[in-house]
Amino acid sequence: MKLKKNVKLKEIFDTVVIFRRSLIFQTKEFFQNSTLHGVRYIAETGRPVGEKFMWFCFTSIGAVTALVIIMSLWEKFQTNPTITGLDTDFHNQNVVFPTTVVCPEIAFDHDRAFEVALSQLADNDYSLAGYIVPFLELLPSLSYETFNEAAVIASSVEMEAVHQKTLRQWAFESVINCEDVLTECKYRDEPIKCCEAFKPVYTEHGYCFAFNSRFQSTEDADINSGSPHDLYETDKKWALFFVPNSTVKIYIFSNEEYFGQDFNPQIEWSENEVVEVRISKKNTYTTDDARQLSIGQRKCIFHDEIKLKYFPEEYTFSSCMKECRMKKAIKLCKCLPPFYKPIANVKMCGLNDLDCLTDYRNNITNIKDCMQCELSCSKTVYNIEKLIKNIERPDAPGVLVEFLTWPIIRYKREVLFGWVDLLVSFGGIASLFLGFSLLSGVEIIYYFTLRACCMVYKNRQELEEIEERIQNQPPPPINMTLGMKSYTAPIVVTEKQPLSAAEKISSSPSNDKPPDYNDIGGRRRKADKDYTAFAKSMYKTPKTLPSYADATTTNWQYGHYLP
């Protein structure tokens, strides 16, 4: 068993070695046959090393330059692929009036709160009801900022009767009536009933009344308010006028959004003030071509792209942020604060949970945990262009919210740099600097995958022979001497035609003149030292060359001993 395992491991090792040799061979083949600029000269046999290095430098510079430009294009594609411009092809016939929320500073009714405390919690004990009333009066204005105060007051009213209802239900028992907040209302310069137009909403800002809101609050749920109020260009006046009874905070935002902690009040109205607000509407929409981009690239989410868990109607930025806070409250305190709409199978927070909400208030409201929420791809913003406050007319107080101009400004967000533009840019840059194309990439994959593997199985014997020959080849000798090696010029021998017998006799060397040994193959030799005297003293043997001299010659021939 062990022997079989060793044989199998040896086969795997041999295959890896052969595959390595195949990759080396395919690399050389690729360099010789590649269509990339300058690559073939790097591996071409017979090219000088300097020329190969030159082409390697040129190719490397081209590759690095192309890579730098491609990375800059990729960064542009990831961060700024869209452009927003003014939409001129737009004719607005009707406009939805913005949601206007009025939040009274005193959101409770003292008489109602005392009656509820006396009859339902104190068992007609007036002194005990006096301790309970402050707690009931705080619930309608409950928010993340007042959790600490509510927890302190709740510690003094700990009783079994309080747990019979949720905090949300107790809050609705003591809220202020609409008639006590708003007295006179006009829309499009026509009188309307305030309490029919302004619906109650219980949110993170407490108990308020909203005009043209998409939902209204009840003890058990948040329900839709119906169709929104529109404005037409032919209307007598593009305005809403109302007269509050006490100090209020006023919020103005789009009808598409959900009212919550993300909004700040634009107006703070006090008694006997006249406030005139001139607003302008700016709408931004995104073309469907932007769907090819990711959410992070276009930095917005289409209304049907993501389905929220607690607000499934359509996506908006405010609903996403609100749901994020709801999820964190449920995760940290295992309950839902009373100013959120009730959710099935989720417990509403009670008296014992106020301490937990106080401790984790900063964690719940921290926006860093809600970074997944992006703006909606279709959003509307209302800007206050002119705000006038006048306290010199106590006889005609009120708040006027009116459009400053018509038409409405509309912007269009569209794709500036899409996938096709990115592909064209990449191809142009790679082709300019390297001659690279899409088929060049296919060619690289082909050489180093399919072709290399096929060579292992079809030409395995040849690869084994090449590997064996390389392994058995002795290493080149290494010269360990420290001296400098002198250069010896090669001797070039000029080929001559064979001589005839007559020419041989006529060209025989003279007996009284030694031959010219500086003439070697037609190349002039460098002058050497004269060693003739030394040679004559050592060699006294007559030398004759066949066919070049007769036997009677007595002159000494000693040139063939000289260096």
Query: CA nearest 82: which of 318, 341, 296, 306?
Result: 296
Q: What is the largest CA-CA distance in the chain?
A: 166
- DSSP assignments along 518-556, one per residue: TEETTEEPPP----HHHHHHH-------TTTS-TT--S-
Q: Which of 415, 434, 453 represents a domain boundary (last residue)? A: 415
Q: Write down the pLDDT at residue 362.
A: 92
Rounded to an integer, what distance in angstroms lies between the CA atom of residue 52 and that of residue 34? 16
Query: Does one domain contain both 237 and 332?
Result: yes
Regarding whether 379 and 525 lie in a shared domain, the answer is no
176 or 515: whose pLDDT is higher? 176
Q: Cα–Cα distance between 151 and 347 in angstroms, integer? A: 18
- pLDDT value at residue 196: 92
pTM: 0.70
Same-domain check for residues 405 and 544: no
Q: pLDDT category, 502, cuts 50, 70, 90?
A: very low
Rounded distance between C-alpha atoms, residue 167 and residue 37, angstroms:
76
Residue 561 has pLDDT above 50, yes or no: no
Q: What is the mean pLDDT of the chain?
A: 81
137 and 129 Cβ atoms separated by less than 8 Å: no
Domain boundaries, position 546? 507-563
For residue 541, is pLDDT > 80? no
Give the tokens for residue 204.
Answer: 């993170």
- The strand pair at 409-415 and 274-286 is best described as parallel
Q: Is residue 511 pLDDT above 70, yes or no?
A: no
| CA distance linking residue 389 with residue 553, whole number of Å | 142
Residue 407 placed within a domain:
yes
Q: Are strands 190-192 and 198-203 parallel, antiparallel or unpaired?
A: unpaired
Q: What are phi and psi of 401, to 5 degrees?
A: -110, 115
Separation between Cα atoms, residue 394 and residue 547, nearest integer Å: 147
160, pLDDT greater than 80: no
Residues 447-472 have pLDDT tens digits of: 888 888 888 877 777 777 777 777 77
Write out the H or E segment, with its range, that includes residue 286: strand 274-286
Give yes or no: residues 519 and 460 share one domain: no
Statement to judge: residues 519 and 370 lie in one domain: no
Residue 421 parent element (H or E): helix 419-434
Residues in the chain: 563
Cis status of the peptide bond prior to 394, with omega within 30 of 0 = no
Residue 395 resides in a domain: yes
How high is the pLDDT of residue 247?
Answer: 92
Nearest to 147 by CA among 163, 166, 167: 167
58 vs 16, which has greater pLDDT? 58
For the chain, the domain total comes to 3
pLDDT of 443: 83
Instruction: Report if residue 497 sits inside a domain.
Output: no
Residues facing residue 103 across a β-bridge: 249
* In-domain check, residue 184: no
Residue 351, pLDDT above cutoff 50: yes
State phi, psi for 100 to the nearest 5 degrees: -120, 115
Judge contact between 182 and 194, C-beta under 8 A: yes
Q: Does residue 498 have a pLDDT over 60?
A: no
Q: 463 and 515: one domain? A: no
Residue 112 maps to a domain? no
User: Residue 67: its pLDDT value, please?
Assistant: 93
Residue 443 lies in a domain: yes
Instruction: Please name the amino acid found at residue 459.
Output: N
Same-domain check for residues 520 and 556: yes
Residue 362 lies in a domain: yes
pLDDT digits (tens, 9 = 90+) for 268-280: 999 889 999 999 9
* Pairing between β-strand 398-403 and β-strand 222-224 as defined by DSSP bridges: unpaired
DSSP assignments along 227-261, one per residue: SPPEEETTSS--EEEEEESS-EEEEEE-TTSPPST
Contact 257, 216 (CB under 8 A): no
**What pLDDT, on the 0 to 100 scale, is given for residue 250?**
95
What confidence tens digit (pLDDT) does each residue in 124-150 have? 888 888 888 888 999 999 999 888 888
Torsion of CA 259, 263, 266, 271, to 10 degrees: 60
| Helix (H) or strand (E) run with residue 361 in it | helix 361-365
Are both 245 and 320 inside the same structural domain?
Answer: yes
Position 470 scores a pLDDT of: 77
Identify whether residues 408 and 448 lie together within a single domain.
no
519 - beta bridge partners?
524
Q: Residues 323-352: what's their mean pLDDT?
A: 92
For tokens 């004719």, name the residue: 91
443 shares a domain with 297: no
Domain identity same for 17 and 42 = yes
Q: Rounded to the nearest 5°, which phi and psi values hold at 529?
A: -70, 155
Token couple for 91: 């004719």
Q: Is 207 a member of any domain?
A: yes
Instruction: Give CA–CA dist 243/393, Å, rounded.
Output: 13
Question: Is 153 in a helix, a strand, or coil?
Answer: helix
Q: What is the mean pLDDT of residues 301-324?
A: 91
Across the beta sheet with 248-253, the strand order is: 198-203, 206-211, 99-104, 248-253, 267-269
**Distance (Å) of CA 178 to CA 9, 79, 217, 227:** 87, 48, 13, 21
Residue whose structure tokens are 């192309």: 66
Q: Are 410 and 425 members of one domain? A: no
